Structures are given as C-alpha cells and as structure tokens.
C-alpha cells in the first residue's frame, strides 16, 4: 500500500482559481459586464484620464488586446478616446456618464460576489488568506 494521495498545493490552487474565475465572470455577465471591462473601468476610476499605454499596463494586457476592448466599450458609450494635445501619439481614455453608471453597476456585483466568498470567514481568516496567497504568488514568481 502506497502513501495517501495528496493533491499538490499548486494544483489545488489552480483548480480553485478556475472555479472562482468562472463564478466571477458569471457575476459580471449577469449585470452586463465582463472582466476586461471591469478592469478598465476600475483603472480609469483610479486615474482619470488614463493614457491608453498606461491603462494596458494597469489592466495587465497587451496594447492590441486593450484596443479591442476599448473599441467595444467606446461603441457601447462607456468610454471616450482622444489624442493628448501635448503629445499627439498618446491617446487619453475617459469614462462617460454611461461608463460611470456601468462602473457602479459592476461594483455592486463585485461587492456582492466578494461578500459571498467571505461567508464563514472571520476578518482574521481573510487577512491570513491574503498573506498566504501573496506568499504563493511570490514563491511562484521566484520559481
């Protein structure tokens, strides 16, 4: 009889991340959003107006991928893009009033999703979980 089968922590975290990611995507979709749109909206709320290049970095996607998402968001009336008068090569992205409303709608969904995830956890549990996840990310980055 061999040792008991134990799932490696990396596999367990990966499976959990996939479940959480799908559930988060579904929560955003229920209110007409998506993860890329949420990330763009949050980034713009932090720093308005945002240079498109800086926005891509903040969201963690490549420029052409961001352009695709911004095209859709601009068509939907959520953002506007304009050239920076001081540097015509730089595009500034700003939220419209509809973008502000979308942000608030998605924020409610994100908040409700987060509250659901925290069920059964104390504030201390959440603090410990954050530290452990940060350590896992750090360990993975070190290799």
The verdict on residue 1 lying in a domain is: no
* 57-70 confidence digits (pLDDT tens): 888 888 889 999 99
Prediction pTM value? 0.82
Asked whether residue 48 carries a pLDDT value surpassing 60, the answer given is no
Give the CATH number, domain containing residue 65.
1.10.10.10
The verdict on residue 15 lying in a domain is: yes
Q: Please, which pLDDT band fits residue 47 given cuts at 50, 70 and 90?
A: confident
Which pLDDT does position 52 carry in this prediction?
82
Long-range contact set of residues 135-139: C-beta below 8 Å, sequence gap at least 24: 136/9, 136/13
CA-wise closest residue to 78 among 63, 97, 61: 97
* Number of folded domains that form the chain: 1
The verdict on residue 5 lying in a domain is: no
The verdict on residue 4 lying in a domain is: no
Which pLDDT does position 4 carry in this prediction?
61
38 close to 106: Cβ distance less than 8 angstroms: yes
The verdict on residue 51 lying in a domain is: yes
Q: How confident is the prediction for the chain on average, in pLDDT?
A: 91
DSSP 47: S
Asked whether residue 128 carries a pLDDT value surpassing 70, the answer given is yes
91 close to 82: Cβ distance less than 8 angstroms: yes
Q: Which residues span the domain enclosing 51?
A: 10-142
């Amino acid at each position: 009889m061999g040792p008991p089968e134990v799932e490696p922590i990396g596999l367990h975290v990966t499976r959990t991340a996939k479940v959480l990611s799908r559930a988060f995507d579904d929560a955003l979709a229920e209110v007409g959003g998506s993860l890329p749109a949420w990330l763009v909206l949050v980034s713009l709320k932090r720093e308005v107006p945002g240079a498109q290049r800086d926005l891509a970095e903040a969201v963690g996607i490549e420029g052409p991928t961001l352009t695709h998402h911004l095209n859709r968001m601009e068509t939907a009336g959520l953002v506007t893009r304009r050239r920076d008068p001081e540097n015509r090569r730089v595009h500034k992205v700003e939220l419209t009033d509809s973008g502000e409303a979308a942000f608030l709608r998605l924020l409610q969904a994100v908040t409700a999703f987060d509250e659901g995830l925290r069920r059964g956890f104390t504030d201390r549990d959440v603090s410990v979980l954050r530290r452990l996840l940060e350590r896992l990310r750090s360990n993975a980055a070190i290799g």
